[in-house]
Amino acid sequence: MNSPAFQYRKLDVQSLVSSANPHKLIGMLFDGACSRLAQACGHAMRGDHEGRGRCIGETVSIVGGLQASLDQEKGGELAANLDALYDYMQRRLFRANADNDIAAIREVMDLVRTLQEAWSAIDPSVTNITSGTHS
């Protein structure tokens, strides 16, 4: 897709990412996951298997990025629990795509929203978020 509007949005996202602090970047990943999951539900309801698969694949990539950003050493039990949760979400999404399971997509969306709300409640000025990782 090379439309001028697409190129503008791509440039806008790149600008936001390059100027965001690590805390904001994690928040943007949560936002992106929620957006893709909502789109995946819409595609699934319309029977658009290609669109559903694309959005689920993008979400799996985002969740993988969140999982890779975990600081296992500093995060301790919290990081281990988040790692297991991200793994669970990815497995649910693979099954949701294979089975066209809207309920599973919504389940993962609820999990992401819960994490998103918790993350946004963290004040980045009082946390030690400097390396781009999260617990």
Tell me, what CATH number does 81's domain have? 1.20.120.340
Count of domains observed in the chain:
1
135, part of any domain: no
Q: Look at residue 25 and tell me whether its pLDDT is greater than 90.
A: no
CB-CB contact of 56 with 105 (8 Å): yes
Question: Average pLDDT of 15-41?
Answer: 83
Enumerate the H helices of the chain as residue ranges. 4-19, 22-46, 49-68, 72-99, 102-120
Confidence (pLDDT) at 18: 55
Tell me the per-residue pLDDT of 55-85, one tens digit each, with 9 for 90 and over.
999 999 999 999 999 999 999 999 999 999 9
Q: What is the dihedral of CA 104, 24, 120, 92, to 10 degrees?
A: 10
Average pLDDT over residues 90-100: 96
- Residue 108: count other Cβ atoms within 10 Å of its Cβ: 24
CA contacts within 13 A on the Cβ side of 87 = 7
What's the domain range around 48?
23-120
**Is 91 inside a domain boundary?**
yes
* pLDDT score, position 7: 43
Residue 10 lies in a domain: no
Confidence class for position 12, pLDDT limits 50, 70, 90:
very low
Q: Is residue 2 part of a domain?
A: no
Per-residue tokens: 104: 């599973």
